[in-house]
Amino acid sequence: MTVRERKCLHADLVCHRKVPFPMGLLLRLIPFMDEPHLDRPDFGARIALRYALESTYPKLLDKPPYRWVRAAFRVLVKSHAGHEPDLSAARQAMHWHSRPEFARPLNAALLARDATAERVAAALDIPEPPVEAYASLCFDVLDRKEDKAYLQTAARVGMLTERWRRVPPELDPVAGEIFVIALNGTLANVMDAVRRSRPAA
């Protein structure tokens, strides 16, 4: 999603929020607790979750740029309406996102300067549609390679062992090294680093 598309979704969420009292009041008083942050790489997944929690389906999600947010929303509310392959891909993407041991190599691969969903899928030997869904929902960096500040933030989030927990790179030097390579290298460089980091059989 582009920055403008993210802002449109966020504005729509704020305008149509229906969370009942007292949760709605709590979210307004402490907005960082559950707000989808515009500059976080998992914005798509988080805003789909917020819509699902509020049982709100905005018409905005019917537009093509929000294909994967729409699919994630359907998965979260257990709705089978929609394009079934998209639902399967979104479900797989969110499963990967919940497993740091899988998510971190995938995040690093997506950060590589020559990464595309097709190339990353081939490098990791996984299906392309879930990679495309993951890259939109959980680690949205493919279209932001010129935004160095955003990529630095994304890399920090991407190497965490637990979502939203700040782990200094020195506490996880292997992951830190891989993400430094990802920020400066090619997909081949990243895959070499990932292979070296795995314990010998």
Mean pLDDT computed over 27-32: 41
Please report the pLDDT score of residue 69 as a whole number: 93
Nearest to 98 by CA among 120, 76, 83, 124: 76
Please report the pLDDT score of residue 174 as a whole number: 61
CA angle 59, 75, 138 (to 5 degrees): 90
Tokens of 94: 């969110």
**Measured distance CA(181)–CA(163) in Å, rounded:** 22
**Measured distance CA(24)–CA(32) in Å, rounded:** 13
Query: pTM here?
Result: 0.81
Of residues 130 and 7, more confidence is placed in: 130
The H or E element that residue 184 is part of is helix 173-184
Neighbour-count burial of 70, counting CB atoms closer than 10 A to its CB (0-12 exposed, 13-18 middle, 19+ buried) = buried
Pure H helices in 98-198: 100-111, 117-124, 128-137, 148-158, 173-184, 187-197
Instruction: Decide if 158 contacts 107 (C-beta within 8 A).
Output: yes
Nearest to 110 by CA among 60, 174, 185: 185
Please report the pLDDT score of residue 46 as a whole number: 87
Per-residue model confidence as pLDDT tens digits over 81-102: 666 889 999 999 999 998 888 8
Per-residue model confidence as pLDDT tens digits over 104-131: 889 999 999 999 999 999 999 999 999 9
Of residues 158 and 47, more confidence is placed in: 47
